[in-house]
Amino acid sequence: MTFSTATTKPQTVGATPMKAAPAGAIKTVPAKPAPTKTEPVKPQASVLPSPPVKPALSKPNRVLLELVQPGAKQVCVAGSFNGWRPEKTPLAQQGNGRWVGDLAVNPGRHEYLFVVDGQWLPDPNAKESVQNPFGGKNSVLLVSE
């Protein structure tokens, strides 16, 4: 009896078999990054929000306040137009006890008092006055637009 050994080749479908490289023949090469298409960076227009629209403010009018107070060392005016802070609005001495203040006051109705050497006094020349919460009277200044 005779035996024959048949060898069959492996069949591959759709792929090519790889051949083994001889020992020591493998070389390592660093991988290069794939080329990328670079476009210049275009600056983008920044869109800032619009500031809120404010209503037009009335321009302050010039008001001349005058007080004759002989012997006074300091005269100021305090009122709703300056937060009732006399130090913000000192009057200028003009001589012969006459004190004058040239103020920028927004249109509207304002209450005020003179402060003479620390004492709060109504304006004797005011056309109108109103009762204040401290038992005295405030002078009223009407400033038209």
Neighbours of 64 (CB within 10 A): 8
Percent of the chain topping pLDDT 70: 59
| Every domain of the chain and the residues it spans | 61-143
pLDDT tens figures, 99-145: 999 999 999 999 999 999 999 999 999 999 999 999 999 999 999 88
Q: What angle do CA 26, 30, 35 make, to 5 degrees?
A: 130
| CA–CA distance, 140 with 145 (Å, rounded to integer) | 16
Q: Write the CATH number of the domain with boundaries 61-143.
A: 2.60.40.10
Asked if residues 105 and 65 have their Cβ atoms less than 8 Å apart, the reply is: no
pTM above 0.85, yes or no: no
